[in-house]
Structure 1
Amino acid sequence: MKSTEYRVQEQGELLLFLFEVLPDTGRNSVKSMLKRGQVLVDEQTETKHDFHLREGQKVTIIKNKVAKRKSTLTGLSILHEDDDVIVVDKSSGLLSIASPKEKQMTAHRQLMNYVKQQNPGNRIFIVHRLDRDTSGVMLFAKSEEVKERLQKTWKKSVEERTYIALVEGRLKQQEGTITSYLKESKSWKVHSSQKQNGGQHAVTHYQVLESKGNGTLVQVQLETGRKNQIRVHMQDIGHPIVGDDKYGSTVNPIQRLGLHAHILAFKHPKTGKSLRFESPVPKGFYKKF
């Protein structure tokens, strides 16, 4: 990525800092750089003029060509990119990877096209998946070596994986742990059982954040990462995720699945540095119904 880096010497507003380090660039041009997403603070895109900088932070200005490549992404925004990984914020409704019905408009395909614009030999590898209707933070690798390293060390590498779910009804217990064995049927539906029966062991921890009307906002942390795990486990305790008619929901006031991958923190596969990324909870999740 073609870019210029600056180190913050003293705290202050981002726009004023840019005026200072780019004295030969017109003020309107500097403001346009911010608006186009060409400015990164500690590797994360920042567009607010009054963003407060702290001493020691790194400000990166990327060339406009790169910013334009990012703008071609639909239903995706890049939270972090380096030589080994890409972390994105995926919208609800976008597939992670191709299916028999959808082969083009997927997160994987878009990112593959994105990296190939820089170098035709570049590739993208999927590390984990989010369901089509689940939004939030998702991690991809830029090489097969990095993908395999992340997948083999996933339990040790991932330091935090937090979801926010909007579920039906009011939970009697403010927190708890759900444990069962999950097995997918031939009809692609995952079933839960207290007996192994060839299923995969799954553990989900939850904590109530807020109750509104007939809905509850729940924070969920995964100890295991099985397909449809949160959706099935919420149904197990009688509080299916809003909008999830596949697993027992009967209402959908937010017009989407009420599940969001809120936080992903992991150790970088090459540097070992801890990285943490957060996607804001969709505003609709706070809707009373």
Structure 2
Amino acid sequence: MSCEPEIIFEDEHLLTAYKPEGWLVHRSEIDRHETRILLQYLRDLSGSHLYPVHRLDKPTSGIIIFGKSSEVASRLQQQLESEYSLKNYLAVCRGYCPEQETIDYPLPPVADFKHQRKRAKSELPRQEAITLFRRLATVELPYAVDRYPTSRYSLVEIQLKTGRRHQIRRHFKHIQHPLIGCPKYGKSSHNRFFSQQFDCRRLLLHAVGLEIKHPVSGKLLALRAKPRGEYKKLLDILGWTNTLNHWNSSV
């Protein structure tokens, strides 16, 4: 149940769009054979030259913003790196996570290239990484995925205070509530269960909201992008759609 990218908001200075899972934001040597490139797709769709401001990982879906000039992109990037912007995500994790918590756990850089992997992890400098989250809903399913007769999962609202690579996935692994559908930091038994039981094979991480001041007018932009495709279908199956609708109306 794949989705196409869609423009959410556009003016003469910037463009925001929905990024489906499985799309790269821009071309990368790490995944050189991928042909679904969001930047090129939106340039063709809008007829405008676009400058990347931030990135969503390939398996993550949701809202993303581009500048239409290097100056606007730079202003937006500075905002996103400050405490004055809000970046909200929705995720599904294993177990009943705490109702509310701040994860303040420094992370070393992710080693994508061979020359970076030659250094021991202990030698890599750790960077400040802060993630806030709040549990929105839980479910207990009558399936024995691990050693227990039932399996528990949580729907979580997440707010990033810093933007380290794979920060959310790494932080939730650190607190022993790994995200569903993550092959690198998740748990394979639960990933297989969601694939086989619900036909859901994607990472359950979605950038649902972004609040930022317009870099030219100064007007507050409160942008939203609800989950689509497999993610939305899963929310319906688990009975979380009403919870999400109520949450959407309150933020």
TM over 0.5: yes
**1:245: which partner in 2?**
183
Question: Relative to total residues, which structure has the larger strand share, 1 or 2?
Answer: 1
* 2:109/2:125 contact within 8 Å kept: no
Alignment partner for residue 131 of structure 1, among 54, 57, 62?
A: 57
The answer to whether the 8 A contact 2:110-2:165 is kept is: no
Unaligned runs of 5+ in 1: 1-73, 117-121
Tell me the SS of whatever aligns to 1:247: coil
Q: Is the 8 A contact 2:109 2:127 kept in 1?
A: no
Say which SS state the counterpart of residue 283 (structure 1) adopts.
helix
Deviation at 1:168, TM superposition (A): 1.0
User: Given the superposition, is the C-alpha separation of residues 102 and 139 from structure 1 closer, same or farther in structure 2, using an over 3 Å criterion?
Assistant: farther
1:82 corresponds to:
11
State the TM-score, normalizing by the size of structure 2: 0.75
Contact 2:25 2:38 in 1 (8 A): yes
Paired position in structure 2 for 1:51: none
Judge conservation of contact 2:86–2:211 (CA < 8 Å) in 1: yes
Taking structure 1 as reference, are residues 106 and 265 closer, same or farther at Cα in structure 2, changes over 3 Å only? Answer: same
Q: Distance in 2 between matches of 1:82 and 1:187?
A: 35
Identity of aligned residues (%): 33
Residue 218 of structure 2 corresponds to which residue in structure 1? 272
The structure, 1 or 2, with the larger RCO (C-alpha pairs under 8 Å, 6+ apart) is: 2
1:39-93 residue CA offsets vs partner (Å, 9 max, x unmatched) = xxxxxxxxxxxxxxxxxxxxxxxxxxxxxxxxxxx72111100001000011111
CA contact (8 A) 1:157 1:267 kept: no
Distance 2:134 2:202 in 1: 22
- Residue-pair matches, total: 207
Q: Could you list the per-position Cα deviations for residues 255-283 of structure 1 after superposition, in whole angstroms to 9, with x for gaps in the alignment?
A: 11010001111100000000111111332
Moved more, 232-241 or 195-204: 195-204
Whose helix fraction is larger, Structure 1's or Structure 2's? 2
Report how far residue 248 of structure 1 moved: 2.8
- Preserved CA contact (<8 Å) 1:165 1:220: yes
Instruction: Give the SS at the match of 2:187.
Output: coil
- The alignment status of 1:163 with 2:89, answered yes or no, reads yes
The TM-score normalised by the length of structure 1 is 0.66
Q: 1:236 to 1:284 in 2, by over 3 A?
A: farther
Q: 1:182 — aligned with what?
A: 107
Cross-structure match for 1:6: none
Residues 197-236 of structure 1: pairs in structure 2 closer than 5 A: 198-213=125-140, 214-236=152-174
Q: What secondary structure does 1:137 align onto?
A: strand
Equivalent residue number for residue 233 of structure 2: 284
Structure of higher CA gyration radius: 1
What RMSD, in angstroms, separates the aligned Cα atoms of the two structures? Answer: 2.6
Aligned equivalent of 1:56: none
Are the counterparts in 1 of residues 83 and 161 from structure 2 also a CA contact under 8 Å?
Answer: no
Of the three residues 50, 54, 68, the one matched with 1:142 is 68
One-letter amino acid of the counterpart of residue 178, structure 1 = I
Contact 1:258 1:285 in 2 (8 A): no
Match of 2:206 in 1: 260
Give 1:199 deviation, angstroms. 1.9
Gap change, CA 1:162 and 1:153, over 3 Å in 2: closer
Question: What CA distance in whole angstroms lies between the structure 2 residues aligned with 1:266 and 1:196?
Answer: 36
Aligned to 1:106: 37
Deviation by residue 1:117-137 (Cα, 9 ceiling, x = unmatched): xxxxx4110000101111111
**Inter-partner Cα distance in structure 1 for 2:79 and 2:238:** 40
